[in-house]
């Protein structure tokens, strides 16, 4: 791999920057791979990277039906944090957060990770109790969390409506200062370049539309670019988990729903952290280009349309404007949406399936971007060794049958929450 550096840029300046090479190859699929990963989003590419880097495997392919990073990786609001209430979740996400802090160096690719602080607002005494409880749970496991007073919140985000008659009065907050945002595309591209340098084949415009079976085992995949044999196959297709697992005859505890986001015109810095809320479902941050990035609830019915409904966006915008009234002066320039795989407890599934040699990484709902490094790391371990890493063991598919579900919101088991 041609390493990127300031010195390389300077040297390139002397000959018109003609030294630039494609960051990864565009290979033809081989007849057989030891491991095939379906889906070239951040998770699939990170998995391939760690399979090569940590486990020393080389004969690996990532099959992507469109272009890498064109799914939810390239559509998300890029919030990175590990402030979850329940232990299996904050352990997994914290492992990821530690990897985030070093990711640009690790990949020799600037993922623009910006730990500007991820703050949850509390709007009532009950909210503050919930936030304190969450912060305590995190601190018991050595994860940073600071409860904030009203004044501290106002100081960090002066544009919040702190008046007592605000639509959503603010009582305080909980901040994880090591959380923040990152550059979504760069994450996919950085992992792709890293994986490619180890010899991983990244094959785009290659849709998997069937599995090749030998008795109870999967031994390969049917694709739009022909049949490809495989020792093990890992599904990693985000919102399309249900569809792809269905090709192997599996029914998952997942329903696909649309999640939308939007961005305003670029303005000077006005939002300093990532603003979220314990009671509302609206999150606000400012991109490095200056646009205010906004997201809310998923459209609460099943859809693969990759096209959202304005009434849902309207709900998120109403909440955002109530929190930061100054936003009402901005023009929205783009909205978009992605197909997310909503699991019934809100937590991901990373592990084996009832079909031999077939593995699943999915169910990330609206929160998988932050997990990209941890998801890749643990899925690589699972695919390389055939058994889960300690961090993803709780996130098995069987948990729905055994009742050991992991409630993502930390408010009690509510299988009906999706």
Partner 1 sequence: MMLINCPHCGPRAQSEFIYERTVDSVPPAGVSNDKAMQTLFTRGNPRGVDEEIWRHTFGCRAWMVVTRHRVTNGISHVRAVGPEALP
Ligand X SMILES: Cc1cc2nc3c(=O)[nH]c(=O)nc-3n(C[C@H](O)[C@H](O)[C@H](O)COP(=O)(O)OP(=O)(O)OC[C@H]3O[C@@H](n4cnc5c(N)ncnc54)[C@H](O)[C@@H]3O)c2cc1C
Pairing assessment for the beta strands 32-38 and 208-214 based on DSSP bridges: unpaired
Kindly report the CA angle at 392 between 391 and 393, in degrees rounded to 5? 100
One symbol per residue from 105 to 144: x for binding ligand X (CB under 6 A), - otherwise; what is it? ----------------------------------------
Contact 35, 383 (CB under 8 A): yes
Q: Report which of 131, 137, 130 is spatially closest to residue 90, judged by C-alpha positions.
A: 137
12 vs 310, beta carbon nearer partner 1: 310
- Residues forming beta bridges with residue 244, ordered by sequence position: none
What does the chain come to in residues?
418
Q: Which of residues 184-243 bind ligand X (CB under 6 A)?
A: 207-208, 236-238, 240
Residue 311: φ, ψ to 5°: -65, -30
Nearer to ligand X, 71 or 171 (CB): 71
Q: Cα(372)–Cα(370) distance, rounded to whole angstroms? A: 6
> 303 or 372: whose CB is closer to partner 1?
303
Q: How far is the CB of 9 from ligand X (least distance, A)?
A: 29
Given the complex with partner 1, which of 168 and 400 has the nearer CB atom?
Answer: 400
- Spell out the residues 6+ positions from residue 99 whose beta carbon is closer than 8 angstroms to its own: 106, 373, 374, 377
Binding interface with partner 1 (CB under 8 A): 240, 242-243, 246, 251-256, 300-305, 309-311, 344, 400-401, 415
Q: Is 77 in the site for ligand X (CB under 6 A)?
A: yes
Of 135, 163, 162, give the one whose Cα is nearest residue 148.
135
| Half-sphere exposure at residue 341, Cβ-oriented, CA atoms within 13 angstroms | 27
Closest CB 416 distance from partner 1, rounded Å:
8
Please tell me whether residue 366 binds ligand X under the rule CB under 6 A. yes
Other beta carbons within 10 Å of 305: 12
Phi first, then psi, for residue 300 (nearest 5°) are -85, 45
CB 82 within 8 A of CB 93: yes
For the bound state, the minimum distance from the C-beta of residue 68 to partner 1, rounded and expressed in Å, comes to 21
**Min. distance of Cβ 129 from ligand X in angstroms?**
25
Give which of partner 1, ligand X, none residue 369 binds (C-beta under 5 to 8 Å, depending on kind): ligand X
Give the nearest distance from C-beta 286 to ligand X in angstroms.
13
The partner in contact with residue 64, picked from partner 1, ligand X, none with C-beta cut-offs of 5 to 8 angstroms by kind, is ligand X
Q: Determine if 64 is a binding residue for ligand X (CB under 6 A).
A: yes
**Phi and psi angles of residue 118, each rounded to the nearest 5 degrees, phi first:** -115, 115
With CB cut-offs between 5 and 8 Å by kind, which of partner 1, ligand X, none does residue 415 bind?
partner 1
Whether the CB-CB separation of 316 and 281 falls below 8 Å is answered with yes
Q: How far is the CB of 11 from ligand X (least distance, A)?
A: 34
Structure tokens at 348: 């991901």
Q: Which stretch binds ligand X (CB under 6 A): 58-66, 104-112, 141-149, 165-173?
A: 58-66
Q: CB of residue 2 vs ligand X: minimum separation in angstroms?
A: 25
**Sites of contact with ligand X (CB under 6 A):** 38-44, 63-66, 70-73, 75-79, 207-208, 236-238, 240, 244, 259-261, 295, 337-338, 340, 364, 366-370
């Amino acid at each position: 791999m041609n390493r990127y550096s300031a010195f390389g840029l300077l040297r390139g300046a002397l000959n018109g920057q003609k030294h630039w090479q494609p960051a990864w190859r565009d290979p033809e699929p081989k007849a057989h791979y030891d491991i095939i990963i379906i889906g070239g989003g951040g998770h699939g590419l990170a998995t391939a990277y760690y399979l090569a880097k940590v486990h020393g495997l080389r004969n690996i392919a990532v099959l992507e039906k469109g272009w890498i990073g064109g799914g939810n990786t390239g559509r998300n609001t890029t919030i990175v944090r590990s402030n979850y209430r329940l232990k299996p979740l904050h352990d997994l996400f914290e492992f990821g957060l530690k990897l985030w802090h070093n990711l640009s160096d690790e990949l020799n690719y600037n993922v623009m990770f910006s730990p500007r602080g991820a703050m949850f607002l509390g709007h009532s005494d009950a909210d503050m109790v919930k936030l304190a409880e969450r912060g305590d749970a995190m601190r018991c496991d050595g994860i940073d969390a600071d409860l904030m007073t009203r004044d501290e919140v106002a100081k960090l985000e002066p544009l919040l409506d702190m008046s007592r008659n605000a639509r959503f009065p603010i009582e305080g907050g909980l901040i994880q200062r090591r959380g923040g945002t990152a550059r979504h595309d760069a994450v996919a591209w950085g992992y792709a370049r890293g994986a490619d340098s180890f010899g991983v084949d990244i094959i785009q415009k290659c849709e998997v539309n069937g599995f090749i079976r030998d008795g109870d085992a999967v031994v390969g995949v049917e694709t739009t670019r022909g049949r490809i044999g495989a020792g093990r196959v890992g599904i990693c297709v985000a919102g399309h988990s249900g569809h792809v697992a269905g090709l192997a005859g599996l029914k998952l505890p997942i329903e696909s729903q649309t999640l939308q986001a939007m961005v305003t015109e670029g303005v000077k810095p006005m939002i300093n952290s990532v603003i979220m809320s314990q009671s509302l479902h609206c999150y606000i941050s400012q991109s490095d280009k200056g646009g205010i990035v906004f997201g809310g609830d998923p459209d609460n019915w099943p859809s693969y349309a990759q096209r959202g409904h304005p009434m849902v966006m309207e709900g998120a915008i109403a909440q955002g404007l109530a929190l930061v009234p100054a936003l009402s002066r901005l023009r929205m320039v783009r909205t978009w949406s992605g197909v997310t795989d909503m699991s019934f407890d809100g937590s991901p599934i990373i592990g084996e399936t009832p079909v031999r040699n077939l593995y699943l990484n999915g169910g990330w709902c609206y929160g998988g971007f932050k997990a990209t490094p941890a998801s890749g790391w643990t899925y690589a371990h699972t695919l390389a060794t055939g058994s889960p890493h300690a961090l993803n063991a709780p996130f098995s598919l069987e948990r729905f049958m055994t009742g050991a579900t992991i409630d993502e919101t930390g408010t009690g088991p509510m299988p009906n929450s999706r």
